[in-house]
Chain A
């Protein structure tokens, strides 16, 4: 950490007010990113202030990381520099909400949970079922680009984010998209901001499509002796007329994770007994609708499960919230479970899910690592490697395993990254994948939005 000059401090105090500049080292601890501590944290109250702060950072060559809930800051590489934390939590207003139009405009720092309560009053919601749900903000959910179980039916943020306002790396307030549900006016810059880890702009406002809350949700779980049988079930559902809200495949190792003390600390409701088995693979399917539709789902899912060689059952209604919370919070649970949990995200065609599971299992076992995997039926696997300690031996094992998995995924036509691992391991592991990506087009984008490199420098793919 560099110490801010007295002149810089006084200028920042002028910009946001002295009580909104934090420089006390103890108070800066929560703003650390990968063990790097900023020189100051600022709590701006307006877009104009953010614009001025960024301009000041450009003139002083200071690096900024925008943050608010601070739950997903350890995704990506450590920043190359980190001088100022931009705490967005004071920008938390709902700018506009038109329930009749199912559209919403909010400031980036609004907590997802608080927003959820407002929408629920109108029997609506935003299908951003991202991990760290109770602490995350809307801006963080978008900047981190993390997905959630509901993508099976509702898609991901790019499917319902209508527009964005942001401040560029030169301090220019700008926007793209709009507030209406259909719009092709100008380039879709807002899509670039999703998952960019704040490297292209400071997100200040976001416009979304909202959705009616599903009525009478139900959960169905089927258990299978093998991964191959489990993988067959989502494939058959995709060929059926069913349109479930969620479809996840869970490895046997998830059972221990979800029944652990770590899980109960993160998702407080107890995990229902006998839903998962440590000896079997499971497929979990969520659906909703009127009574006729629910009965149809149940009978079709039961038939499909049997055709795939498994047996299925409805999750008790009182246990649904606990089961759903665990699926959503798979990553935080894994990180709490092991002192050196390493999460690999694998993107693969659905038909290759079984091959990817086989590679994961083989690699984990060859390196004597405990593991668990949760996969979306659409072809996204979160593979958790769960070493017992964060020592050098385990680091080497995880390094060997992740390199092998990167290679296996590439051979299967997929991609893999390591969104979460212990910070000291980031210099060893290939966080952004095996390095086979063409970064030149992405670098062009970065140069447009942040030519001086003041926004989260170095955290993104290839150190962008």
Chain B
């Protein structure tokens, strides 16, 4: 990096808001995925004007620039793949406006997801997207990745809850897209920008919808002796037209790992559990809870527990939300996938994943959003062994290819980033990727913003550098889906 750029950044932001010494950069090499990429410097803008000026400097010095929230992403989206400036939004963390009457809030991108929900809970509202990292991840990151979460089954993902943005384009131009009232006139630029993985603009302000907290919540835990019984229950619940607020599945192996860590009272000798939540109007939620319990029993559930109070409910969810952390205690590294399949294909796909695990000699844990067919197979391996790393990629590709054969997709909520770019040609033709590239180039013509993401590059997986993660650095619940 040119010393002049460093000088200009420091004069703009102050010395303390610019990191560039190798030991300072270490933390910013990582996100929640297995990818690693070191930025040349890390900057902490505090204002929209800062962001604009940083973008101008990146242009002036022709340096790549990448935005980052809390760094909990799971596809390398917020890593500086080609080095350059990493703009971290943790100083832009103010809630700017809360409009209870219209159920809207305007926030800076660095506001932590669950902080917004906490700030509006007094009015019976919340921000519905709830990634498992919600106690750390930022709303700017959620918007960039179009994040999901367990409750997005009924409530929708981030794009369904985002109304307008203020953003700095790679040209340095400040734009406003969308509107606080519904149906903004013109092309649905919000639909394009949300989930564009930080490749079109740096977001400086976000207006979101707030959602009423349900009157009644019923949380059920159904315990199954076979994986097939559990997956067929999910198929049946969907087919019967019941949309639970959440429908999460943990297989027996994962459950034992979680129980050893969280002590949520999960059974240790079963093949799978479903964590089901139904909510809404009291009369509706109670009926749905009865219906769901009956469907579980019809599929030979050994036991259906209903959380009696908020404490029991929180305990069950604690098990789910801390599952990735629990698995992290058992293996030097794990590779988490994010494939999606039609829900009717759950039974056959889980059987196939089991076969693939056996074929390659890996333990694969399954903990995922069963209700919308969004799988998260966790493949346990030791990244210090290059041979294992090669095989884990091969196993993972075989799973993804099977998902695609089933009519599915390569990522449901984690994003493509730098992890799955090479898989994009499995879903899109060259011509289709070219159309998407031209969309990117319309906003990011020189490619200085978040380069080499989403679209396949010539970089093979041999260039993905993976190191074992020091286990002490994995706070519970942070490395989560």
Interface residue? B81 (CB, 8 A): no
Chain B residue nearest in CB terms to A296: B283
18 additional A-B pairs beyond A349-B102, A444-B442, beta carbons within 8 Å, are A98-B342, A102-B238, A158-B188, A179-B342, A180-B340, A180-B407, A181-B340, A181-B373, A186-B424, A186-B428, A191-B190, A241-B280, A289-B284, A380-B183, A439-B186, A445-B192, A448-B435, A460-B187
Interface footprint category on A = 35 or more
**Which of A178, A349, A414 is within 8 Å of B408, CB to CB?**
A178
A-B contact pairs, 12 of them (CB 8 A): A98-B342, A102-B343, A174-B435, A180-B409, A184-B413, A186-B454, A191-B190, A194-B191, A213-B241, A241-B282, A290-B284, A442-B186
* 0/1 string, A146-173, CB within 8 A of B gives 1: 0100000001101100000000100011
Residue of A nearest to B403 (CB): A180
Counting CB contacts under 8 A, is B439 at the interface?
yes
Docked CA distance A178–B406 (Å): 12
Contact-residue bracket for chain B: 35 or more
**Residues of chain B with a CB closer than 8 A to A212's CB:** 240-242
A101 touches B409 (CB 8 A): no
Residue A52 lies at the interface, judged by CB distance under 8 Å to chain B: no
Complex contact A185–B341 (CB within 8 A) = no
Chain B residue at smallest Cβ distance from A297? B281
> With A and B bound together, what is the CA distance between A232 and B180 in angstroms?
20
| CB neighbors of B among A412-452 (8 A) | 413-415, 417, 432-433, 437-439, 441-442, 444-445, 447-449
Query: B residues 179-216 with Cβ under 8 Å of A?
Result: 179-192, 194-196, 212, 214-215
Given A192-B188, A238-B212: A182 in contact with B372 (beta carbons within 8 A): yes
Contact A349/B281 with A159-B156, A181-B372, A445-B189 known, Cβ cut-off 8 Å: no
Asked if A247 is an interface residue, CB under 8 A from chain B, the answer is: no
Count: A-B pairs, CB below 8 Å: 233
Smallest Cβ-Cβ distance to A412: which chain B residue: B181
A347 touches B407 (CB 8 A): no
The answer to whether B187 touches A347, judged by C-beta atoms less than 8 angstroms apart, is no
* B160, B214, B280, B409 pick with most chain A CB within 10 angstroms: B409
> Contact at A159–B185, with CB atoms within 8 Å?
no
Of the residues B177, B180, B373, B412, contact of A101 by C-beta under 8 Å: B373
A184 is contacted by which of B282, B345, B414 (Cβ under 8 Å)? B414
* Distance of A174 Cα from B427 Cα, bound (Å): 11
Q: Is B166 an interface residue (CB 8 A)?
A: no
Q: How far is the CB of B160 from chain A (nearest CB, A)?
A: 6
B428–A175 touching, CB < 8 Å: yes
Interface residues as binary, A341-356 with B (CB distance below 8 Å gives 1, 0 otherwise): 0000101111100000
| B159 proximity list for chain A (CB < 8 A) | 158, 188, 191
Pair A448/B181 contact, Cβ less than 8 Å? no
Which residues on the B side are within 8 Å of A296 (C-beta)?
A: 281-283
* Contact A180–B408 (Cβ < 8 Å): yes
B residues 234-261 in Cβ contact with A at 8 Å: 235, 238-242
Cβ contact within 8 Å between A101 and B343: yes
Determine if B283 and A175 form an interchain contact, defined as CB atoms under 8 angstroms apart: no
Q: Which residues of A contact B152 (CB under 8 A)?
A: 182
Is A173 in contact with B431, judged by CB distance below 8 angstroms?
Answer: yes
Q: Give a binary string over A235-269; 1 marks a CB under 8 Å from any B CB, 0 the rest.
A: 10011011100000000000000000000000000
Which residue of chain A has its CB nearest to the CB of B433? A186
Identify which of residues 111-164 in chain A touch chain B, using a CB-to-CB cut-off of 8 Å. 123-124, 147, 155-156, 158-159
In the bound complex, residues from chain A placing their C-beta under 8 Å from that of B416 are: 184-186
A427 to chain B, nearest CB (A): 19
Q: B184 is contacted by which of A191, A194, A415 (Cβ under 8 Å)?
A: A415
Most chain-B CB neighbours within 10 Å: which of A184, A289, A442? A184
The answer to whether B415 has its CB under 8 Å from any CB of chain A is yes
Instruction: Check A180/B239 contact, CB under 8 A, given A159-B160, A441-B189, A461-B186.
Output: no
Contact with A along B393-417 (1 / 0, CB 8 A): 0000000000000011111111110
Decide yes or no: A155 and B436 within 8 Å by CB, A178-B409, A441-B189 being known contacts: no
Candidates B181, B192, B372; contact of A379 at CB < 8 Å: B181
B479 at the interface (CB under 8 A from A): no
B344 touches A (CB below 8 Å): yes
Are B182 and A184 touching (Cβ within 8 A)? no
**Assembly CA distance A345 to B185 (angstroms):** 10
B188 partner, pick from A173, A191, A289, A432, beta carbons under 8 A? A191
Say yes or no: A433-B188 contact (C-beta < 8 A), given A179-B342, A292-B287: no
Please state if B284 and A99 are interface contacts (CB–CB under 8 Å). Answer: no
Q: Are A101 and B342 in contact (CB under 8 A)?
A: yes
B443 at interface by CB-CB < 8 Å: yes
Residues of the B chain whose Cβ atoms lie less than 8 Å from the Cβ of A241? 212, 214-215, 280-282
Q: Is the interface of A mostly helix, strand, loop or mixed?
A: loop
| In the complex, B148 has a CB within 8 A of chain A | yes
Closest to A191 in B: B191
B239's partner among A100, A235, A350, A445 (CB-CB below 8 A) is A100
Tell me the minimal C-beta distance from B347 to chain A in angstroms. 11
Residues of B within 8 A of A (CB): 99, 101-104, 124, 145-146, 148, 152, 156-157, 159-160, 175-177, 179-192, 194-196, 212, 214-215, 235, 238-242, 280-284, 287, 340-345, 369, 372-374, 407-416, 420, 424, 427-429, 431-432, 434-436, 438-440, 442-443, 454
Which B residues are CB-close (under 8 A) to A191?
A: 159, 188, 190-192
- Tell me if A349 and B342 are in contact (CB < 8 A): no
Nearest CB of A to B404, in Å: 9
Contact B435 A182 (CB under 8 A): no
Question: Which chain B residues lie closer than 8 Å to A187 at the CB level?
Answer: 192, 195-196, 436, 439-440, 454
Q: Among the listed A188, A347, A414, A438, which residue makes an inter-chain contact with B191, where contact means beta carbons less than 8 Å apart?
A: A188
Please tell me if A196 contacts chain B, counting CB pairs below 8 Å.
yes
Cβ contact of A445, chosen from B238, B412, B413, B442, cutoff 8 A: B442
- Whose C-beta in chain A lies nearest to the C-beta of B342? A101
Closest chain A CB from B23 CB (angstroms): 34
Residues A242 and B281 in contact in the complex (CB < 8 Å), given A159-B160, A174-B435, A179-B342: yes
Q: Which of B156, B184, B345, B434 contacts A347 (CB 8 A)?
A: B184
Q: Which residue of B lies closest to A181 (CB)?
A: B372
Which residues of the other chain, A, contact B369 by a CB distance below 8 angstroms? 182
Could you tell me the distance between the alpha carbons of A241 and B413 in the complex, rounded to whole angstroms? 29
From B183, B185, B242, B407, A179 is in contact (CB under 8 Å) with B407
Q: Which residues of B contact A345 (CB under 8 A)?
A: 183
Kindly list chain A residues whose C-beta atoms are within 8 Å of the C-beta of B436.
176, 186-187, 189
Interchain residue pairs A-B with the least CB separation, the first 5? A191-B191, A212-B241, A241-B215, A292-B283, A101-B342
Tell yes or no: A195 within 8 A of B by CB: yes
Residue of B nearest to A151 (CB): B182
Q: Which residues of A contact B411 (CB under 8 A)?
A: 183-185
Q: A101-B238, A168-B435 are in contact. Are A461 and B181 (CB under 8 A)?
A: no
Nearest-CB distance from A453 to chain B (Å)?
A: 15
Bound form: Cα–Cα A432–B187 in Å: 12
A28, B369: Cα distance in complex, Å: 52
B185 engages A155 (CB within 8 Å): no
Contacts of B215 in A (CB 8 A): 241
B187's partner among A100, A175, A185, A200 (CB-CB below 8 A) is: A200
Residues of A within 8 A of B443 (CB): 441, 444
**Cα-based distance from A239 to B148 in the complex (angstroms):** 25
A348 touches B284 (CB 8 A): no
A103 interface hit (Cβ, 8 Å): yes
Q: Report the bound CA distance from A213 to B262 in whole Å.
A: 40
Cα distance A444–B444 in the bound complex, in angstroms: 11
Q: Are B424 and A185 in contact (CB under 8 A)?
A: yes
